[in-house]
């Protein structure tokens, strides 16, 4: 044991680690801005002045706290190779919140201020969920099979991180495919670039250079724009604005709860991976830091949650210590306050950045299938479908909105189809988690546990927690809505669960793991 006085915060390996972690965070901000402006027509300047500063402050707090934890460990153990836990914006929930909360509220209200307040309130709800469940993360991991926890993420990987960014990529195929090719070559094929340059950074820079070169010659038409190189002093002051959005945000609890749970479980997993790599952090401390960082972001205008990243072993292998998290936190946080992060976000073309998101989506899907037992692969596949339904719902809503279609004038067949798509798409994250869970237990012939999750689905569907029949996805009391679908869906789930309990009673007397049922 030593006193750790000679522990160096900055070493050479911190430079590459900083660039990687910083780029991950900036990429998420680029995508957040791109989704809100490109898909929903949200005003870009409002994002820069109201949403990014608080979001960046949450990242700064989390990374500085993790830097201090690494320094404290080095001082306690006398080790010089302690690597800080990386923290940044959670990619799946950043995209999920944009599509499932911010976009729909803006389409409904047309008011960026209301949308921002609801986004802040949603962050506060997620932060509270994370604080509460940071003390029960292991219990959640035991109760919900990986097919449920990871399957809901895999759906986001396919639909929101895969398909939608691919649409953006092919709007500028030369820029996008060159960047995508470099990402696949360096990160999928794992081939070194000349001079051992980081593949993600080279891909973004190459795509950006092509974008400005082609735009300068007029080859991109209206897709090209020059960034507004304006520094803005926008300090993220604490605000009670989230209180005004809280009522509407409560309807988004089916989104907030699963995203909070997923980062809690993910935080447990990444803390364990750091422990295996040699840095034994206290799991509860790691989880509470990410929870408080999310609350700080929500209270100061942020609309995206932070989470510990799974890349700790990679950053350790790069030679990173604690300097890279310190530098990333200060860069992102101060950049949000003084506006230079907004300049970077505005300057980077989406087509050059989305290949990284597509790669993340592919990795999430492949890791989900490789982490889950083969017997659960059908459960994972089932868990993909609610997110696909949400994707269809987004496309439908965008199309009908752009065409200014009178919904009351829709033909009966199309109106019925729209109702079902709304039903399947609303609450998609929690639906995916529950579907993956009951299907995994069913695959293991644990019929009682599968039935329990089906009864949960029945109860949740009655109140719109999943399968809300309201286009806005709000919660309700089933006897106060005109549609009979909540009752019909709830009874359907309950009947499914009772059927499994019946089979459990009449199956061969070999216990829950038996070979089949008598028919």
Separation CA 299–CA 293 (nearest Å): 10
Separation CA 287–CA 58 (nearest Å): 14
What is the secondary structure of 141-193 as a DSSP string? HHHS-HHHHHHHHHHHHHIIIIIHHHHHHTTSHHHHHHHHHHHIIIIIS-PPP
Separation CA 338–CA 331 (nearest Å): 10
Separation CA 153–CA 328 (nearest Å): 26
Question: Hey, where are the domains in the chain?
Answer: 13-371, 376-506
Within 8 A by CB and 6+ apart from 4, the residues are 71, 74, 75, 76, 77, 78, 79
Q: What is the pLDDT of residues 161-214, one digit of tens each?
A: 788 889 889 999 999 999 999 999 988 898 988 887 878 889 989 999 999 999
Closest to 500 in 3D by CA, of 418, 438, 458: 438
Separation CA 339–CA 120 (nearest Å): 20
From residue 166, how far is each of 72, 186, 379 by CA, in Å? 43, 19, 26
Q: What is the pLDDT of residues 17-73, one digit of tens each?
A: 888 788 889 988 988 998 898 888 899 999 999 999 999 999 999 999 999 999 999
From residue 111, how far is each of 81, 393, 422 by CA, in Å? 50, 21, 23
Closest to 309 in 3D by CA, of 23, 26, 49, 90: 90
Separation CA 148–CA 140 (nearest Å): 11
Q: Which residue has the tokens 């993600």?
A: 200
- The pTM of this model reads 0.81
> What length is written for the chain?
519
Kindly give the parts of the chain with pLDDT less than 50.
Answer: 1-4, 511, 513-519
Separation CA 61–CA 454 (nearest Å): 40
Q: Where is 113: in which H helix or E strand?
A: helix 112-133
């Amino acid at each position: 044991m030593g006193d750790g006085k000679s522990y160096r915060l900055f070493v050479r390996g911190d430079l590459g680690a900083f660039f990687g972690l910083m780029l991950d965070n900036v990429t998420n901000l680029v995508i957040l801005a791109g989704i809100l402006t490109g898909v929903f027509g949200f005003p870009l300047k409002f994002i820069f002045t109201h949403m990014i500063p608080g979001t960046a402050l949450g990242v700064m707090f989390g990374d500085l706290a993790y830097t201090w934890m690494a320094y404290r460990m080095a001082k306690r153990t006398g080790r010089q190779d302690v690597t800080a836990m990386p923290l940044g914006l959670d990619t799946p929930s950043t995209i999920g919140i944009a599509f499932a909360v911010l976009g729909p509220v803006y389409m409904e209200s047309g008011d960026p201020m209301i949308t921002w307040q609801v986004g802040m309130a949603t962050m506060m709800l997620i932060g509270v969920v994370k604080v509460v469940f940071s003390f029960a993360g292991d219990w959640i991991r035991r109760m919900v099979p990986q097919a449920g926890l990871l399957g809901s993420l895999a759906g986001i990987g396919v639909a929101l991180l895969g398909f939608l960014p691919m649409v953006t990529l092919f709007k500028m195929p030369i820029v996008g495919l060159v960047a995508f090719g470099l990402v696949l070559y360096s990160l999928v094929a794992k081939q070194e670039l000349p001079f051992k340059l980081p593949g993600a950074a080279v891909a973004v820079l190459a795509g950006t250079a092509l974008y400005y070169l082609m735009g300068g010659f007029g080859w991109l038409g209206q897709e090209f724009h020059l960034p507004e190189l304006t520094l803005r002093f926008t300090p993220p002051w604490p605000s009670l604005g989230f209180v005004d959005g809280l009522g509407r945000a409560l309807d988004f609890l089916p989104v907030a709860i699963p995203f909070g749970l997923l980062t809690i479980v993910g935080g447990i997993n990444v803390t364990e991976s750091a422990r295996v790599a040699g840095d034994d952090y206290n799991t509860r401390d790691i989880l509470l830091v990410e929870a408080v960082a999310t609350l700080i972001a929500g209270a100061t205008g942020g609309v995206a949650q932070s989470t510990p990243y799974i890349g700790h072993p990679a950053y350790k292998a790069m030679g990173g210590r604690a300097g890279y998290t310190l530098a990333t936190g200060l860069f992102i946080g101060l950049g949000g306050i003084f506006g230079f992060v907004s300049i970077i976000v505005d300057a980077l073309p989406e087509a050059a950045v989305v290949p990284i998101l597509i790669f993340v989506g592919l990795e999430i899907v492949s890791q989900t299938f490789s982490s889950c037992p083969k017997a659960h692969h059908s459960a994972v596949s089932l868990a993909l479908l609610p997110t696909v339904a949400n994707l269809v719902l987004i496309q439908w809503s965008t199309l009908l909105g752009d065409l200014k279609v009178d919904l009351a004038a829709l033909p009966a067949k199309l109106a019925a189809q729209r109702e079902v798509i709304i039903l399947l798409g609303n609450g998609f994250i929690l639906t995916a988690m529950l579907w993956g869970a009951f299907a995994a237990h069913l695959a293991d012939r644990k019929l009682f546990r599968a039935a329990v999750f089906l009864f949960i689905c029945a109860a949740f569907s009655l109140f719109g927690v999943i399968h809300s029949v309201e286009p806005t996805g709000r919660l309700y009391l089933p006897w106060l809505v005109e549609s009979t679908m909540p009752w019909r869906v709830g009874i359907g789930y309950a009947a499914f669960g009772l059927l499994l309990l019946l089979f459990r009673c009449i199956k061969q007397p070999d216990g829950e793991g038996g070979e089949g049922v008598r028919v």
